[in-house]
Amino acid sequence: MISSVAYIAMHTSPLIQPGIGNAGGMNVYLDRLSRTMAASNVDVTVFTRRSESESDTVTEVMPGYRVVQIETGPAERISLTEMRLYAAEFAREVEKWIRSHGRTYDLVHSHYWLSGRCGVRLKDALGIPLANSFHTLGKVKDATRGTDEPLSSSHRLLTEQEVIERSDCVIASTPYEFDDLLEHYGASPERLCVSPPGVDHSVFSPGSRSDAKTKLGFGDERIILFAGRIQSHKGTDLAVRSFGKIPAILADDTGPTTLHIIGGASGPDGEAELARCHISAERLGVADRIRYFEPVPHSSLADHYRASEVVIVPSRSESFGLVAAEAQACGIPVVAANAGGLPYVINASESGLLVDDHDPQAFASAIAAILEHGSFAERLGQGGVAYSQKFSWHTTTMRLLELYEGITSQP
């Protein structure tokens, strides 16, 4: 019986609002998973790097779930390139904290490649099994990157390979990521497992579009929503260019369309991607119909989903695609790239539409088909609500506990 687990998330904390800096879907994953584990009587400690000088070292989020911030490097937000310089020190300090506080864990579960090295150290030092979730893979990102995106560092790729080889279980979010681990890294299939993230259906559920618009102070415009960190890999500029090919007033004359972008610039190309968005919008003559929003609390996204007609997810790759899953749970059709784990998250032509080749015209046509055909949009929305039921944090937790039991029972 699993009673305690150490989660390692060096580069980002579940306490940080998604959409800021390095914070994204992984933050939501860690927080919701930890809460559900704690509610299932599993004691959880999340170890992360301190990125704010005034934050507490230990935050008791709820009984059985705490976040420990390790003092490593400057207590401020830094790039992943800078952060990797402190990876070895971070691993030493996590081990020191565990020993000094007399903590014992049944296993360690590291998240992302930066944390994987720490996971390997704790496995060896404490004699406990290691599970690892990458959330994104360097070789997969390189295979799908845009022309303006830098290649993954050799340090990252070598670390990913080492962590895959040393982990007792590498957890993929979808069967597509499972295949990527086999194809790009030669991972041993007997040590690969699949466990999708979940959706909090108490928060993300269908609701009145007019009520959501009133709550958020929106008018009668028809909203296309992009929610996520602004970076080339998420396809933010592609969302803008696709929107630029949709007429201001569609054939059914139901009012103007607008594009809402929720998120902050992220990563080494974040500011450049934001600049590209503005340039594309001006060139296409749609700058006055695009609204930019700072990141919002995760629970507030539900109202933004409900206020929208369509959610666009044009990522070049996604290990899962939490935005797509949450939007569907709210009954909103999704138009997404046919890439990464998104074909697993979206039931094509039943809960949303998948677009090949990251073609702006193809995205625009798919979005227009939904906006112009109310019965089609309604059918997709209903299909999304039904399909999203396969994703829940309870199911995710039970699946992971099964995997944890498997690796801790090995001789």
Which pLDDT does position 23 carry in this prediction? 66
Say if residue 381 is in the same domain as residue 397.
Answer: no
Which pLDDT does position 299 carry in this prediction? 86
Say if residue 381 is in the same domain as residue 401.
Answer: no
Which pLDDT does position 54 carry in this prediction? 74
Which pLDDT does position 194 carry in this prediction? 97
Say if residue 117 is in the same domain as residue 253.
Answer: no
Q: pLDDT tens for residues 290-322?
A: 999 999 988 899 999 999 999 999 999 999 999
Distance separating alpha carbons of residues 49 and 111, to the nearest angstrom: 13
Say if residue 27 is in the same domain as residue 97.
Answer: yes
Say if residue 9 is in the same domain as residue 142.
Answer: yes
The per-residue pLDDT of the chain, averaged, comes to 94
Which pLDDT does position 226 carry in this prediction? 98
**Does a structural domain hold residue 166?**
yes
The answer to whether the CB of 141 falls within 8 A of the CB of 152 is yes
Across 60-99, b (16+ Cβ under 10 Å) vs e yields ebeebbbbbbbebbeeebbebeebbebbeebbebbbebbe
Say if residue 399 is in the same domain as residue 383.
Answer: no
**Does a structural domain hold residue 40?**
yes
**Does a structural domain hold residue 192?**
yes
**Does a structural domain hold residue 149?**
yes
Which pLDDT does position 121 carry in this prediction? 97
Handedness of CA 123, 128, 133, 139 (dihedral sign): positive
**Does a structural domain hold residue 321?**
yes
Say if residue 159 is in the same domain as residue 253.
Answer: no
Query: What's the pTM?
Result: 0.94
Say if residue 264 is in the same domain as residue 322.
Answer: yes
Say if residue 150 is in the same domain as residue 264.
Answer: no
> What does DSSP say about strands 58-62 and 65-70: parallel, antiparallel, or unpaired?
antiparallel
Say if residue 164 is in the same domain as residue 242.
Answer: no
Joined together, the tokens standing for residue 327 give 């939007």
Joined together, the tokens standing for residue 337 give 């790239």
- Residue 274 maps to which CATH number? 3.40.50.2000
**Does a structural domain hold residue 327?**
yes
Which pLDDT does position 52 carry in this prediction? 84
**Does a structural domain hold residue 204?**
no
Give the residues of the chain that fall short of pLDDT 50. none
Number of structural domains found in the chain? 2
Say if residue 192 is in the same domain as residue 264.
Answer: no
Which residues is 328 bridged to in the sheet?
A: none
With both helix axes pointing from N to C terminus, report the angle between 374-388 and 360-372 in degrees, rounded to the nearest 10: 100
Which pLDDT does position 22 carry in this prediction? 67
Residue 275: domain span = 209-388
Which pLDDT does position 256 carry in this prediction? 86
**Does a structural domain hold residue 203?**
no
Say if residue 95 is in the same domain as residue 31.
Answer: yes
Single-letter amino acid, residue 133 = S
Q: pLDDT tens for residues 51-94?
A: 887 778 999 999 999 999 999 999 988 888 899 999 999 999 99
8-state DSSP, 132? E
